[in-house]
Structure 1
């Protein structure tokens, strides 16, 4: 007869295996993509009626892009300094004074490409202290003219808030406040609830600048160190609460009044949450993907657009190559600006499920955001390390 101690150990082992089985299955599915999605194995898909690269040699390394459909323009979040400074991927150039700052751009996609009105930088005013601007996620509340930006400032990541004035020839963003908080450790993406309330994702708990090996382990083991924080800047003091956790919490988007979508990059899925009255989030389902999602967007036709990276090893290789291009003065030659890692864009609706729109290994690389003007049938894709943006029409 087995001893009581042996039976107890067996029972504990069974419980541990049962508890870890979903995690093991999830890691197997996600890590399989490292082999399955080698660029030579990927299909070439393009369901757009037309698509082409625009703004080449004018903007590059654009992480986010949002469509303001009412005014037919996009706000692009771009950073040529990403080649030297990327807190998510672990690029920290020692000569900080040579790292160029990023910019936000107004792109009027209905204007002719060669028109002076098509592209204009947003100028900044009243920024406090040492100016350091390395933007990721950006959001704009049109009703209050409030602009929110996840800024991976060299002295520490934060969310910067501006009032955007579009009434003059030049767009000017006047700085109104900076949000630095222990629960906003690694801000990545934003989704607005109002001009004073928003969700912000923190992609990791362990920061690459603090412990590179630990951050990589958090990514590849699928540890849910990433969070979604609810922020209310109208309250005094400011209210910040962690309302959800996910492995590598990346893009976030409001699907409707009751549903929030969050991209879990290292889990290769988009998680859907029910939003409660106090703005807490409860996960209700997920959308499994065959690639690693980055940013999310929703548009007026009710669909969710997902963009991401099919093959992380190729993406990592691109980053290493970009570092090798850096000259002594910190500049990166123009011949190094082209991204060489694949892009995957999908559309999801509750009625029709998931549809792949665009997969490319050669035309446009490192795609991280897709956004669409549903009224005009035009959309954009931004590339984290790409030269220009992809503009498409249905």
Structure 2
């Protein structure tokens, strides 16, 4: 084989330098080096006592709560907008190791995934019991238990492989629009349902939303009951014949900016013609945009870039839904998955909770069903600093594996706090492949779905 010429060698060095500049942190932290994680760690609590997986043993494995991707709070509010209850909705797909349009393989799309509802009770926190509020959900839905949600009137023969999920709050007991990204066999769509607090275990099918612009939808962030942002994580997907085995991996690992975020406005249900009234490309050229989340004021949209190991925070114009400015890029010590803005328990400023995967190689082994493989979990909070200042060299020091051990500094306007870690070895009590982190701002209850976890949802109720 002929040696490279000087010009070719120079070009190769420039290309490799560019790749390292863009993705060096990801290569170093998530591919080259592997940390030793504890069986389990939960901030302000005792993992062994405070954390448990929830899965109803009465369900057979193919219908059980395992291999879960996304979760969201369904906020049940009174007429004045005060939150009375926050049950959790979780998307799970026990057949994920046979059908995964992001990581592969694409062998068997037949078994359907499912939606689950978990109602959590109010624990004693910091020596005080959380005040009891009026019950909104139907009284026969038992707390501290996972309940499968039936898909009412869902079309026969229509696949259901749920990924991202979002639900609009219920006010004074009215019904909520529920949207689920569905990685079906032919193409990815968004399924719309209606969910009522009176019948919370019955999601009534409304319609399937589809457009050629839905190349690879991953996560949702609602702006109204009938409009949302949606991330498209890849331009080249696993569905492509032949090249689908290689090019999506190249797009991911080399952080090629081919993903995008769209804003979609829907027509009223039952309208003739398309279900989409308006589609805008809100942000183009994002490397592997994964989770997205809108803050409470509606003026910030956070997008996790899995390829860059960053959370990108954009200024949002609520009048136009445009994202005119990148405000901050927060570097993370792992590959981020789903993200959620959440109320802080100690500050009026919202935090962003990010879950992700510390080691891409381990995650790939679990996806390939390798014997003995385990993928660790890591969930952090992006905590705004009270005042902008200099990046600190010492932060997140209480975690077994500190974010500080992976990153030299935090940011001028933010720092990182580890909320959850686990080795992912389930036979030893660990919990693997964390995809989402949810924290109830009132009770402190904490929820983590696991992409390939047999016990698909970890529930922690920290006692401190």
The runs of 5 or more residues in structure 1 that have no matched partner are 1-8, 325-335
Corresponding residue to 1:164 among 185, 190, 195: 195
Matching of residue 249 in structure 1 with residue 289 in structure 2: yes
Q: Give distance in 1, aligned partners of 2:329 and 2:231.
A: 17
The corresponding residue for 1:385 is: 452
| Worse overlay, 355-364 or 248-257 | 355-364
Matching of residue 108 in structure 1 with residue 119 in structure 2: yes
Superposed CA offset, 1:223-252 (max 9, x none): 011111101014875211211131111000
The corresponding residue for 2:390 is: none
Q: Give distance in 2, aligned partners of 1:345 and 1:377.
A: 15
Q: Give distance in 1, aligned partners of 2:232 and 2:277.
A: 18
Alpha-carbon distance change, 316 to 376 in structure 1, aligned in 2, over 3 angstroms: same
The corresponding residue for 1:26 is: 22
Superposed CA offset, 1:168-207 (max 9, x none): 3x62111112111122111111111110111111110101
Within 5 A, what are the aligned runs for 1:50-65? 50=46, 51-56=50-55, 57=57, 58-65=64-71
Q: Give distance in 2, aligned partners of 1:77 and 1:391.
A: 15
How far apart are 1:46 and its partner, in Å? 3.4
Alpha-carbon distance change, 294 to 316 in structure 1, aligned in 2, over 3 angstroms: same
Within 5 A, what are the aligned runs for 1:169-184? 171-184=201-214
How far apart are 1:300 and its partner, in Å? 2.9
Within 5 A, what are the aligned runs for 1:224-373? 224-234=257-267, 238-244=277-283, 245-255=285-295, 256-276=297-317, 277-281=319-323, 282-301=325-344, 302-321=350-369, 340-351=374-385, 353-361=415-423, 362=425, 363-373=430-440
Superposed CA offset, 1:42-73 (max 9, x none): 89753241442221455101101112353231
How far apart are 1:279 and its partner, in Å? 0.8
Q: Give distance in 1, aligned partners of 2:18 and 2:300.
A: 24
Matching of residue 121 in structure 1 with residue 188 in structure 2: no
Residue 151 of structure 2: SS of its match in structure 1? strand
Q: Give distance in 2, aligned partners of 1:358 and 1:24.
A: 29
Alpha-carbon distance change, 319 to 145 in structure 1, aligned in 2, over 3 angstroms: same
How far apart are 1:208 and its partner, in Å? 0.8
Whether the aligned pair in 2 keeps the contact of 1:48 and 1:393 (CA below 8 Å) is no
Residue 367 of structure 1: SS of its match in structure 2? coil
The corresponding residue for 1:87 is: 101
How far apart are 1:213 and its partner, in Å? 0.8
> Moved runs in structure 1, 4+ residues, more than 6 A?
19-22, 41-44
Corresponding residue to 1:219 among 249, 252, 276: 252
Q: Give distance in 1, aligned partners of 2:339 and 2:117.
A: 20
Whether the aligned pair in 1 keeps the contact of 2:54 and 2:459 (CA below 8 Å) is no
How far apart are 1:257 and its partner, in Å? 2.0
How far apart are 1:40 and its partner, in Å? 3.5
Alpha-carbon distance change, 293 to 60 in structure 1, aligned in 2, over 3 angstroms: same
Residue 321 of structure 1: SS of its match in structure 2? coil
Alpha-carbon distance change, 313 to 142 in structure 1, aligned in 2, over 3 angstroms: same
TM-score normalized by the length of structure 2 = 0.72
Whether the aligned pair in 1 keeps the contact of 2:66 and 2:454 (CA below 8 Å) is yes
The corresponding residue for 1:331 is: none
Report how many residues are paired: 361
The corresponding residue for 1:68 is: 74
The runs of 5 or more residues in structure 2 that have no matched partner are 1-6, 58-63, 76-82, 124-140, 269-273, 345-349, 386-413
Alpha-carbon distance change, 148 to 391 in structure 1, aligned in 2, over 3 angstroms: same
Residue 237 of structure 2: SS of its match in structure 1? coil
Matching of residue 137 in structure 1 with residue 161 in structure 2: no
1 or 2, which has the higher helix percentage? 1
